[in-house]
Amino acid sequence: MFRNVSELIELAESRQLKISDIMIEQESEVKNQSKEQLMEQMDKNLTVMEEAVHKGLQGVKSHSGLTGGDAVLLQQYIQSGNSICGHVLLDAVSKAVATNEVNAAMGTICATPTAGSAGVVPGTLFAIKEKINPSREEMIRFLFTAGAFGFVVANNASISGAAGGCQAEVGSAAGMASAALVELLGGTPSQSAEAMAITLKNMLGLVCDPVAGLVEVPCVKRNAMGAANAMVAADMALAGITSRIPCDEVIDAMYKIGQTMPSALRETAQGGLAATPTGRELEAKIFGVSLNDQTI
């Protein structure tokens, strides 16, 4: 039904439907499933996200010891009333962190669009839930809207850090979340596209440089920043601000940037933060020495 964002928006606006409606129709056609079946499956995904957020906010620790507990610290800071950013934004950040801390601790998460970027979509959704109290169906539709934009990125660029850097993972996730936030808050399909464009523009060139090759540092905190980016971009779009570069062109730019990005900055742990002295020290500490006294 649609291959890019412009076609998606045209379909939604010409038929006076929501983006989530268009995505559900397309999924129904591709999978030969009813709307009810699709909604039921997405409800299960939503439950997985909800449980991951809850678990992360209770406090988890990764096996490597690199990450864990930051979501709890953020919630405590929010409760202090001294935050600069305000409750909703920091709540989104903390819930994004919570989800990725669960991922790092080998817990169950829902890849949106990848495991390494799984915190942004649920983080923003469950933060805004506390503010506007959406229905379960509205929350499920949020995920279909996010999925529509993720579908476009996956088919026209990349959602893989190994292929396109972290811009393709956390960048895509942030754009998906921002577009879905706009629809949930009553914005138009065009405003969702503007939010996606604004978000992704500000994450272009983001490298994938996991310390010790683990999806922890800096991945967890990048999900935090992705959630914050998504929230701000959604507000900008809802305010009527537009992107001078169309969404499809931003996605294409991300793809081309990823193609020219050195392999050392695409999930290989050979460059960036992974190659810093501290990054290498952490790598050695985590993996230790082999039985032959050779560093693994």
pLDDT digits (tens, 9 = 90+) for 211-263: 999 999 999 999 999 999 999 999 999 999 999 999 999 999 999 999 999 99
CA 41 – CA 52 distance, rounded (Å): 17
Give the residues across from 68 on adjacent strands: 61
Backbone CA torsion sign across 120, 125, 126, 132 = positive
> Could you read off the pLDDT of 166-191 as tens digits, one per residue?
999 999 999 999 999 999 999 999 99
Q: Residue 295's pLDDT band (boundaries 50, 70, 90)?
A: very low
Q: Are 205 and 167 in contact (CB under 8 A)?
A: yes
Q: Are 100 and 219 in contact (CB under 8 A)?
A: yes
Of the candidates 181, 155, 148, the residue with the CA atom closest to the CA atom of residue 12: 148
Model pTM score: 0.96
Determine the average pLDDT of the residues in 271-278. Answer: 97
Q: Are 11 and 17 in contact (CB under 8 A)?
A: yes
